[in-house]
Structure 1
């Protein structure tokens, strides 16, 4: 016999809209932690119900159902049931690109959580069709591919000028996770037909967006994951239209790094030679670590190591280790120094680094927010 909560879950597929609304009102709070097990009732019927409700026209119904789906993504089975529904994921991605969508940001969180699944790479096959392009603004989105449109949302919409209801910050975590897979890495480091631009170059500016940890963290991990294919390193380092290295080094540099001599300073990338007095390092040690891991990946080849030496990366790393009291940062600095200062003999390969995921699945429980708005909690009531 079902419990009262399980019976409440069954109301999600009631034929009466008011009953479904009451069920959602009461179930949002049970979608995290041990209580989330109630959504397994009746062979996970609730997952399909929630996906159906996410397509409704009601702002409240959509926000609540997508919030619950995002929270339930912590469970591998429930996440898979959502991610493997190609029709729903295609709807979700295009709906994020609807510039009148009041629930775009919570949908970005759900999409980021679904990107834990290998099948998420199917988003690269989603293109405009008669059924999904009516709400897509052709003056903003020039590509017929949804991945390109999501990139446009992230890059052009960070200040809410595209959609007053969304800043698209959590797409950074989606990019981070999808770049763990080869199709994702290839997308970010290959020139796209619709605008002739290499996507990773569009993200680099956000490595120093210090008012948004979410963007910095997701972009840093996307850069790192995109560097796992070492054959692309030379182009990423030397192609002036990308200009990758300064955007990895600037977040780990500070105006207080005063003991770099004139010769080394002259060899640094131009962007790091005359830092303003108020230039600070990224305030989050974990993000600095991701950038150091990117530098380690660039040390994979001899050509990469020689390029980093020519750009005075070693003195910069030396200053970082000296001025930051953090054990993990110190350990990574030592590894970079060992790679750059050792002799060039023997195997040209370095140790493997794991592809860094974005944060664990984001749970949405209440309306409390951190002061910087980075771990945004969506109020759905």
Structure 2
């Protein structure tokens, strides 16, 4: 197989005949469809450089197959790392230096006439997933001609791409990039109004990818404790956006209803909960992060968060979501005298709860095996 790759790379040059490039790329794309083939391709720097170069080919059929192959390669953390860390000097088998793959993706994504915008989003989503690559990619974006402001504008603009590409995978890209403290603080900059523009996508029905990406972004941003009070304030009002996907069509008595945020009062009969358990879990974990400090816990209790979680717990079937829900409920039903810490992260978890959660974890593992 290695000898085959050496032969194929000769035809993977920008100036090669179109039919030869097509044939070579079809073979490489086919190889990356199997684990064994993928492993061999990842080890060939010459092939990787050629693929990155051809992703910028003027022939759409070539560039598309190059992108699809790169998406397969970057599905493995090892492949993503190799692509990001490729040495881009001119290779004797390739006509010119390979362009930076992150820059190539950004150029396609930011071009409203691009016919490769969705594959570029998918590739960038894969590349940004490993946390070990995040800071390097953030540095590349900062040095590029495409700013974070532009990426947010592209993501939030309806039908930015004129060729019908939806750019849903920009959601996971933002979630992955928000593993970086630098990106989180950009999103949370009160002068930019970024997070307020992202909040409506927690209820975006047309794409679980976009919706999940933004919920992941919000969850990551909730790790920035210094912004919690602002996030819960009227300036952002994040709590209803996190709770609404967790709510069903239950009706509460007037006293409970009046305590809920306005957005969660008198929901329609056809109101459905978020149907993806991973997203439900991230929403609960985001609220849990917001409970770090006493004044925020008091506020979240006052907004009757408990009753939404109570009904969710009755309905929930996923064990991991149930565990996250019970963890949050435990925080909310305990008095501040029982917690006895301003920052709950400084508090010790009671032994009985540790035993309870360990038992649930064990049962979950046994049920999964």
The answer on 1:146 being equivalent to 2:138 is no
Change over 3 Å in CA distance of 1:69–1:317 after alignment to 2: same
Q: 2:290 maps to what in 1?
A: 298
Instruction: Give secondary structure in 2 for the equivalent of 1:11.
Output: coil
- In 2, the alpha carbon distance for the partners of 1:40 and 1:321 equals 45
Let me know the Cα RMSD of the aligned residues. 2.2
Partner in structure 2 of residue 59 of structure 1: 60
The structure with the largest alpha-carbon Rg is 2
- The Cα of 1:176 is off from its aligned counterpart by 0.7
Alpha-carbon displacement from aligned partner over 1:111-165 (angstroms, at most 9, x marks no partner): 111112131111451353xxxxxxxxxxxxxxxx5221111111114xx354233
1:204 aligns with 2:206: no
2:233 pairs with one of 234, 238, 259: 238
Structure number with the higher helix fraction is: 2
The match for 1:287 is 279
In structure 2, the partner of 1:367 is none
Aligned partner (choices 247, 254, 266) of residue 253 of structure 1: 247
Asked whether the equivalents of residues 123 and 146 of structure 1 are also in contact (C-alpha less than 8 Å), the reply is no
The TM-score normalised by the length of structure 2 is: 0.82
Q: Post-superposition, which runs of at least 4 consecutive aligned residues in structure 1 deviate over 6 A?
A: none
C-alpha contact 2:71 2:123 (8 A) present in aligned 1: yes
Question: What is the aligned counterpart of 1:214 among 181, 184, 209?
Answer: 209
- Determine the C-alpha separation between the residues in 2 that align with 1:96 and 1:272: 36
Quote the Cα distance in structure 2 between the aligned partners of 1:211 and 1:36: 32
In structure 1, the residue matched to 2:138 is 121
Identify unmatched segments of 5+ residues in structure 2.
87-98, 347-369
1:323 and 2:315 aligned: yes
TM-score scaled by length of structure 1:
0.80
| 1:66 to partner: Cα distance | 1.2
- Would the aligned equivalents of 1:103 and 1:165 in 2 still touch at CA under 8 Å? no
Tell me the residue number matched to 1:105: 118
The CA distance in 1 between the partners of 2:127 and 2:317, in whole Å, is: 36
Say if 1:307 and 1:7 are closer, same or farther in 2 by CA, change over 3 A.
same
Q: CA deviation at 1:179?
A: 0.6
1:8-23 mapped onto 2 (5 Å cutoff)? 8-13=8-13, 15-18=15-18, 19-23=20-24
User: Does the aligned pair in 2 maintain the 1:123–1:147 contact within 8 Å?
Assistant: no
Deviations 1:164-209 (A, max 9, x none): 3311100001011111110121121114xxxx53211111111111
CA distance in 2, matches of 1:202, 1:149: 13
Q: Where do residues 340-355 of structure 1 align in structure 2 (5 Å cutoff)? A: 340-344=332-336, 345-350=339-344
| Distance in 1 of aligned mates of 2:312 and 2:205 | 18
Provide structure 1 residue ranges, at least 5 long, that are not aligned to the other structure.
129-144, 353-381
Tell me by how many angstroms 1:312 deviates.
0.5
